[in-house]
Amino acid sequence: MSFRFTHAIVRPPSSNFADGLTSVALGAPDFALALEEHARYCEALERCGLELVRLPEDPAHPDATFVEDTAILSPRCNVLARPGAPSRAGEVTAIRAALAAFAALAITPDAIEPPGTLDGGDICEADEHFLIGVSQRTNWDGAAQLAAFLTRAGYSSSCIDIRAIPGILHLKSGIASLGDERIVVIDSLIDHPALKNHELVRVTPGEEYAANCVRVNDHVLMAAGFPGMQHTLEQLGYGLIVLDMSEFQKMDGGLSCLSLRF
Ligand code: CIR
């Protein structure tokens, strides 16, 4: 049931969105277009049946629209992250408050503590097993803290060190779980032993950005402009919602980063 969601936290980009972190050289994002793409993304989540918790924009944190990095939410384990980029550390406060409003859903999160760092974008829930990326943002200490919380909740986990994999910021820049033991994966991670028990769906070479797709209830959200990947997912029978992500891609963000689903 890991893809049965009822809610999602979202937060629009702020007008200084272009001041956020990025490692890609795709130019500055167009703010008006980013707002438009974010609005379409929110509509897509609502079409999937989710009720949205809309946080206000946060100009103090230009990357705050990427709410996924601030927490790990799952049916039996909720953890506040500790973002590895210092400019993003303050984003967690608002998420903690937003989750507190959901006491009825029993969301009383644990938290990653120093010296651990961990970004939600490095955590991939794959059918009761969690894949934890060790990256430039998530360190081994943060990964170990999360693994302990997951074990206590009855989940298993394994780590994937992505620090030597070129072109991906987070683990979920390169893999996505579709449920049913099926994982979308880019070629540079396809032979990783942590993935050997899953059916792997290969991302069309050259379409790596499309790896960051999101299963939400009966749909899969994917980025527009990746015909090979779209064909692959259609052949597998998924109901696709294809979304323009150009302005978020310029800031190293993918579809999953724009919401915290629970
Ligand atoms: C950052 O570098 O932190 C943001 N500009 C992008 C974060 C994307 N988040 C994600 O992939 N989960």
Determine whether the shortest distance from the Cβ of 257 to ligand 1 is under 6 A. yes
Q: Is the CB of 22 under 6 A from ligand 1?
A: yes
- Decide if 85 contacts 135 (C-beta within 8 A): no
Q: Which residues pair with 247 in a beta bridge?
A: none
Residue nearest atom 1 in ligand 1 by C-alpha distance: 21
Catalytic residue among 42, 77, 159, 257: 257
Which amino acid does the sequence have at 127? D
Strand arrangement, sheet containing 239-243: 214-216, 219-223, 239-243
Q: Is the CB of 236 under 6 A from ligand 1?
A: no
Our answer on whether the CB atom of 52 is closer than 6 Å to any ligand 1 atom is: no
Distance 221 CA to ligand 1 centre (A): 18
Q: How many Å lie between the centroid of ligand 1 and the Cα of residue 66? A: 6
Ligand 1 contact via 135 beta carbon (within 6 Å): no
Encode the chain in three state secondary structure.
CCCCCCEEEECCCCCCHHHCCCCCCCCCCCHHHHHHHHHHHHHHHHHCCCEEEECCCCCCCCCCCCHHHHEEEECCEEEECECCCHHHHHHHHHHHHHHHCCHHHCCCCEECCCCCCECHHHEEEECCEEEEEECCCCCHHHHHHHHHHHHHCCCEEEEEECCCCCCCCCHHHCEEEEECCEEEECHHHCCCHHHCCCEEEECCCCCHHHHCCEEECCEEEEECCCHHHHHHHHHCCCEEEEECCHHHHCCCCCCHHHCEEC
d(CA 202, CA 254): 18
| The CATH homologous superfamily of the domain defined by 7-169+246-261 | L-arginine/glycine Amidinotransferase; Chain A (3.75.10.10)
Closest C-alpha residue for ligand 1 atom 12: 121
Q: Count how many Cα atoms sit within 13 Å of the Cα of residue 26 in the half-sphere of its side chain.
A: 17
- Between the CA of 259 and the centroid of ligand 1 the distance, in Å, is 12
- pLDDT at position 107 is 66
Instruction: Name the residue at shortest CA distance from atom 7 of ligand 1.
Output: 253
User: Is 20 touching ligand 1 by the criterion CB < 6 Å?
Assistant: yes
Q: What is the pLDDT of residue 178?
A: 97
Amino acid at 210: A
**Model pTM score:** 0.97
> Does the annotation mark 124 as catalytic?
no
Residue ranges for the chain with pLDDT beneath 50? 1
257 is a catalytic site residue? yes
DSSP bridge pairs for 177:
183
> Domain residue spans in the chain?
7-169+246-261
Give the C-alpha distances (Å, rounded to integers) separating 181 from 57, 61, 184, 218, 220: 36, 36, 10, 16, 15
Ligand 1 nearest atom to the CA of residue 254, by list position: 11
